[in-house]
Amino acid sequence: MLPTTKGRKITSRHFLFFMLLIFHTNLSPRTSLSLVYNPPRCDISSIKTSLYRTIFFLNLLKMSETDSNGASKHCTSTPSRRAPTLGKATLLAIGKAFPSQLIPQECLVEGYIRDTKCDDASIKEKLERLCKTTTVKTRYTVMSKEILDKYPELATEGTPTIRQRLEIANPAVVEMALKASMACINEWGGLVEDITHIVYVSSSEVRLPGGDLYLASQLGLRNDVGRVMLYFLGCYGGVTGLRVAKDIAENNPGSRVLLTTSETTILGFRPPSKARPYDLVGAALFGDGAAAVIIGANPVMGKESPFMELNYSVQQFLPGTQNVIDGRLSEEGINFKLGRDLPQKIEDNIEEFCNKLMSKAGLTDFNELFWAVHPGGPAILNRLESKLKLNEEKLECSRRALMDYGNVSSNTIVYVLEYMRDELKRGGGEWGLALAFGPGITFEGILLRSL
């Protein structure tokens, strides 16, 4: 039985306002109880300032409801181990999608050499070595025999093919993004019309309007959905998308943000050349696919299943390193150059960057965290692991994503987070980091909290 005053029972609604007054004012319990039954007139601005607090306590009440037998009602979703921080963005669902072509790594060399009509034995030998050192086992790709039959010029050196590449890439990227988004919305369990914003990330298409509009239309989103398009960020684009979605969710009460990333290697596919050694690295390492995440603050417990909190984010670039990762569009597609000193640059700066993120939660021990690191390649993971003296299992989710999908640019961090979600269900720490590195050299990081 809840407390009463003057013979009147306090309902759950009365109790809610009583708790608001107790927790957020200096009023005594007696005065607070009096205000519950005799509230003063208040303007709309006063009500708005209590919105976040009211939502929080409503969620607490929903979790404590009982059925007719007095037993506690259980949510249909998996109960969170920890309560979300009021006003902080949370991850609510994940989806992913891939093209139909699955390539085992052991089959890649013969197929690539055949499709590009390469007869240089030294190039074949080098590609075989690279395929072993990348640790990749399987990848998905948009490229197929049917596409090469239709566009044989894609495998011809020196042929202007940017128009043909975009004819393939633009629709393929949106198709994968659509499938990943639908899978994500289905897991979330909400309505399409409840999505208020979309953040669209890709380094694989070029057109106006962008893929964000095509995706919004094909999903049936509201025509007033807020759209943000992030183009050509490369491997750190997924974490940037999370940061932007976090800012939107936390500054627009009640918003639900769909983050979608989608990538294909069509723009960079070309015959091997000794003048472009990085092309072989790309052929051995990169894959295609899409990913999606629903992000929102103050999740509705019982209807939504938050599993991770985006607590704090940082982006920074390393001055004077803009030429270490270089990508440029040309008539033949996109040309990449990668400096050999990239792993060393990351190793030299990673500890300070991580400490900046960890300081927000008073953390100092790297091995107390869980780690979701974009697997740009095994060398970067190895350098990071060594520099921070991480236990071997700490980067397992990143290594597994690299093995199963290759480096899928901006998508890959979402694949890592999905594996990490499964790991944390079996137990683990409260705090973690999501990290990615890309052109700039840009470091992108988020302090995560497992729920």
Q: Is the pLDDT of residue 311 over 60?
A: yes
Q: Is residue 352 part of a domain?
A: yes
Q: Is residue 250 part of a domain?
A: yes
DSSP element (H, E) containing 131? helix 121-133
* Whether residues 391 and 335 fall in one domain: yes
* Whether residues 210 and 337 fall in one domain: no
Q: What is the pLDDT of residues 57-103, one digit of tens each?
A: 445 444 444 343 333 333 334 444 799 999 999 999 999 999 999 99
Residue among 210, 231, 185, 435 at smallest CA distance from 334:
231
| Dist. CA 8–CA 100, nearest whole Å | 66
Q: Is residue 85 part of a domain?
A: no
Instruction: Choose between 355 and 273: higher pLDDT.
Output: 355
Q: Is the pLDDT of residue 436 over 90?
A: yes
Provide the residue range defining the domain that includes 62: 4-74
| Dist. CA 203–CA 267, nearest whole Å | 9
* Whether residues 130 and 239 fall in one domain: yes
* Whether residues 168 and 259 fall in one domain: yes
Measured CA distances, 224 to 182, 212, 215, 242, 260 (Å) = 19, 13, 14, 21, 18
Q: What is the pLDDT of residue 337?
A: 86
**Which domain CATH number covers 107?**
3.40.47.10
Q: What is the pLDDT of residue 285?
A: 96
Query: What is the rounded average pLDDT of the residues 134-148?
Result: 96
Is the bond leading into 277 cis (omega within 30 degrees of zero)? Answer: no
Q: Is residue 79 part of a domain?
A: no
Q: What is the pLDDT of residue 157?
A: 87
Q: What is the pLDDT of residue 8?
A: 54
DSSP state of 407: B
Q: What is the pLDDT of residue 35?
A: 52
When divided into structural domains, the chain yields a total of 3
Q: Is the pLDDT of residue 379 over 60?
A: yes
Q: Is residue 302 part of a domain?
A: no
Q: What is the pLDDT of residue 38?
A: 59
235 is catalytic: yes
Instruction: Choose between 389 and 75: higher pLDDT.
Output: 389
Of 170-184, 199-213, 264-278, the one with minimum mean pLDDT is 264-278
CB within 8 Å of 296: residues ≥ 6 apart: 89, 90, 92, 249, 255, 256, 257, 304
Q: Which member of 42, 118, 184, 235 is catalytic?
A: 235
* Amino acid type, 208: L
Q: Identify the three-state secondary structure at position 173.
A: helix
| Dist. CA 61–CA 151, nearest whole Å | 61
* Whether residues 12 and 139 fall in one domain: no
Instruction: Measure CA of the first residue to CA of the last residue in the chain; give whole Å.
Output: 31
DSSP element (H, E) containing 218? helix 211-219
Q: What is the pLDDT of residues 212-233, one digit of tens each?
A: 999 999 999 999 999 999 999 9
Q: Give the Cα-Cα-Cα angle 310, 316, 318 (nearest 5 degrees).
A: 150
Q: What is the pLDDT of residue 42?
A: 43
Q: Is residue 196 part of a domain?
A: yes
DSSP strands (E only) in 264-406: 289-297, 308-317, 325-330, 333-338, 370-373
* Whether residues 282 and 339 fall in one domain: no
Q: Is residue 15 part of a domain?
A: yes
Look-up: residue for tokens 């009509």?
Answer: 117
**pTM (2 d.p.):** 0.82
Q: Is the pLDDT of residue 355 over 70?
A: yes
